[in-house]
C-alpha cells in the first residue's frame, strides 16, 4: 500500500484559512420543507463511515467556520475505494484522513480522487491524497482549468480591477482599504499542489466502478462545470454543492468572469436536474445530511431565487440602487467585513440576471454602478 505520509506533508501556512473562502454558503434564506432524512441527524465520527447504499459510504471531514464540515463520499471501485471531495489543505482535515486510514479505510486501496468542483473545501487535499496514494485526480475541464488559472496568479496584492469592482458595487473607502490589507493568494494557501495532469470527466460520462456505474451530470452557476454523480441502479446522487438540504449555495459574479450570468446558469441547472434525475433518489450533499426530496428541494431553490428577483426588480423600479443597497432585500443575515465580498458577488449575480432579462439597466456614475428600472 502506498505511503500514507506524515504530519509535515501539510504546510503550516495552510493551518487556519478564512473558511468563508470556500464559497459554499449563500446568505439567502431557503425552505427545506418536505425533505426527509433517512439517517436523521446521525453523522460519522472520526475514522468512521456510515453505509448509505450498496457501493456508497459516508465520511465527514471537520472544517472551521460556520459550515463546520464537508462530507466525503467513498465509492466502491473494483478492489478499492474512490474518494469524492476531500476538505481544505489544513491539518484539521488531513488528520481526519489519517484517522480514516487507520479506521474505516484500513487495508483498503484508494483508486482515484474525484473533485466535484474547484472550491478549496472540495479539492484542497485532492493533490495530497493523489500524491500519497499514487492515483489520479478526476475532474471536469472547466473546474480543473479554472483552479489552475487561479493558483497560477502569483500576485501578492489585490488587483486594481478587483478593488474597482468593489468600488463600483458601492463599497466605501474603509471597506476597500480593508480588502486591500487582506491581500491576495488566499485560494492558493487552501489548496495542496494539484497534479500537472488529470483525468477529464464530462456531462454524460459513465464511470465504471466494477459493480457500479456512476453517470456524470454537470451543473453551473456555483462553479463553472460542477460534477454530480448519479448511480441510477442504487438510486443515489452525489450532489456536491449543486444541491444542499439546508443552505443555498453561493452564486456569485467573480473577478475571473466579471460579465457572466451565473444565476441564469444556476437556474438552468436546476431545471436540468429536475428533468434528468428522479425525485426519489437519496441525495448525498457536500454539507448537511443525506436526504430524500430532490425535486422538492430544487423547486424551492428555483422559486425562492425567482421571488428575490421579483422583489429586487420591484424595489429598483421605485428607486435606483447599488449592489450594496440590495443586501437587505436578498440576505437574511447581517453583512459585515467578513462576508461583504461574497454578498457583493451574489448581489451582482441577481442584478446581472435582471439585466439579461431586460428588467433593469446599469449606469456607471463616476465608477459606481447604479441600477434603474426599465419601463
d(CA 333, CA 316): 21
Q: Residue 263: how many CA atoms within 13 Å on its side-chain side? A: 25
| Distance in angstroms between the alpha carbons of the first and the last residue of the chain | 67
Q: What is the pTM of this model?
A: 0.92
Q: What averages of pLDDT result for each successive group of 10 residues across the chain (375 residues)?
A: 47 42 46 84 96 98 93 98 97 97 98 98 98 97 96 89 96 95 89 96 98 98 98 98 94 93 98 98 97 97 96 98 96 88 96 98 97 92
pLDDT of residue 11: 53
d(CA 181, CA 203): 40
> Is residue 56 a contact partner of residue 75, using CB atoms and an 8 Å limit?
yes
d(CA 266, CA 310): 17
The secondary structure of 257-323 as a DSSP string is: STT--HHHHHHHHHHHHHHHS-TTSEEEESSS--EE-HHHHHHHHHHHHHHHHHHHHHHHHHS-B-G
> Is residue 231 a contact partner of residue 127, using CB atoms and an 8 Å limit?
no
d(CA 8, CA 95): 11
Domains within the chain, CATH numbers bracketed: 21-373 (3.60.15.10)
C-alpha cell at 202: 464530462
Query: Nearest Cα to 132, choosing from 195, 88, 76?
Result: 195
pLDDT of residue 338: 85
For residue 77, give every residue at least 6 positions away whose Cβ sits within 8 Å of its Cβ, in sequence order, or none: 111, 112, 209, 210, 212
Amino acid at each position: 500500500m502506498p505511503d500514507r505520509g506524515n504530519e509535515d506533508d501539510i504546510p503550516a501556512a495552510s493551518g487556519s484559512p478564512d473558511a468563508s473562502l470556500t464559497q459554499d454558503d449563500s446568505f439567502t434564506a431557503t425552505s427545506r420543507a418536505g425533505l426527509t432524512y433517512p439517517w436523521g441527524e446521525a453523522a460519522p465520527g472520526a475514522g468512521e463511515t456510515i453505509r448509505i447504499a450498496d457501493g456508497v459510504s459516508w465520511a465527514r471531514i471537520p472544517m472551521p467556520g460556520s459550515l463546520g464540515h464537508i462530507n466525503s463520499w467513498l465509492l466502491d471501485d473494483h478492489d478499492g475505494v474512490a474518494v469524492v471531495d476531500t476538505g481544505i489543505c489544513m491539518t484539521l482535515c488531513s488528520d481526519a484522513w489519517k484517522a480514516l486510514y487507520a479506521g474505516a479505510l484500513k487495508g483498503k486501496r484508494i483508486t482515484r480522487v474525484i473533485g466535484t468542483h474547484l472550491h478549496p473545501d472540495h479539492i484542497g487535499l485532492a493533490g495530497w491524497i493523489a500524491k500519497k496514494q499514487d492515483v489520479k485526480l478526476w475532474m471536469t475541464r472547466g473546474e480543473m482549468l479554472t483552479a489552475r488559472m487561479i493558483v497560477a496568479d502569483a500576485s501578492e496584492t489585490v488587483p486594481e480591477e478587483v478593488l474597482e469592482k468593489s468600488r463600483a458595487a458601492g463599497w466605501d473607502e474603509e471597506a476597500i482599504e480593508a480588502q486591500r490589507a487582506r491581500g491576495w493568494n488566499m485560494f492558493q494557501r487552501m489548496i495542496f499542489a494539484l497534479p500537472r495532469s488529470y483525468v477529464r470527466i464530462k456531462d454524460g460520462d459513465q464511470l465504471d466502478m466494477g459493480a457500479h456505474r456512476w453517470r456524470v451530470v454537470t451543473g453551473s452557476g456555483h462553479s463553472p462545470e460542477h460534477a454530480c454523480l448519479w448511480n441510477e441502479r442504487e438510486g443515489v446522487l452525489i450532489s456536491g454543492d449543486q444541491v444542499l438540504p439546508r443552505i443555498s449555495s453561493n452564486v456569485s459574479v467573480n473577478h475571473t468572469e466579471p460579465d457572466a450570468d451565473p444565476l441564469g446558469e444556476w437556474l438552468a441547472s436546476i431545471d436540468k436536474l429536475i428533468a434528468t434525475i428522479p425525485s426519489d433518489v437519496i441525495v448525498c450533499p457536500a454539507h448537511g445530511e443525506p436526504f430524500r426530496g430532490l425535486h422538492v428541494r430544487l423547486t424551492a431553490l428555483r422559486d425562492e431565487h425567482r421571488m428575490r428577483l421579483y422583489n429586487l426588480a420591484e424595489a429598483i423600479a421605485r428607486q435606483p440602487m447599488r449592489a450594496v443597497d440590495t443586501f437587505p432585500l436578498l440576505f437574511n443575515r447581517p453583512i459585515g467585513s467578513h462576508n461583504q465580498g461574497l454578498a457583493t458577488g451574489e448581489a451582482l449575480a441577481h442584478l446581472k440576471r435582471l439585466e439579461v432579462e431586460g428588467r433593469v439597466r446599469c449606469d456607471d456614475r463616476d465608477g459606481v454602478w447604479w441600477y434603474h428600472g426599465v419601463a
